[in-house]
Copies of this chain bind each other. A is one copy, B any other.
Amino acid sequence: MRPEPSKAFDPGEWEPERAGEALRAHGCRVTQPRVAVLRALLEHGGTIDALGLTALAQRYEPGIHEATVYRTVNVLSEVGIASHVHAGHGPSLVRLAGDEQLVAVCRDCGAIAPIPEESVAQLVESVEARTGFLLEPGHFALEGVCGECSP
């Protein structure tokens, strides 16, 4: 799910150990559920919704509760390890910091496609030049219909 080898995110970036330090540095405890969520994010390596993330995290922490995943994601965001993306419709998405990228979500099937870096740069630049707005492409998603869902 991660087609950009050039600017590729290095998963080692947030190996549990380093992430643990980041957490402690913010006065947060390093708990098993949190590590499980982190590992799930590392394993998945891309953008994922809370439900999927919970499912993945179950592998490392079988009893982990959905609410805990939500809380953990918030903590990870505050600490700068992860960030959440609000997709127009449907659930919001999570990904590791450093893997931030503008994505498009299919309104019919929910498929997620990364937007080519070049198109993003073009947009950001052009919008800033003309409106003064500095877009934050990592924090929102575009909506549309994917190739498979459109006739």
Name A residues whose Cβ lies closer than 8 Å to a Cβ of B. Answer: 86, 88-89, 92, 104, 106-107, 113-116, 118-119, 122-123, 126-127, 130-136, 139-148, 150
Contact = CB atoms under 8 A, between A and B. Distances in A.
Given A86-B88, A86-B89, A132 B118 contact: no
Contacts of A148: 132
Number of copies: 2
Nearest to A145: B134
A37 B104 CA distance: 31
26 contacts: A86-B88, A86-B89, A104-B127, A104-B131, A104-B135, A107-B136, A113-B131, A113-B132, A113-B133, A114-B131, A116-B126, A116-B131, A119-B123, A119-B126, A123-B123, A132-B147, A132-B148, A133-B142, A133-B146, A133-B147, A134-B147, A134-B150, A135-B142, A135-B143, A139-B143, A140-B142
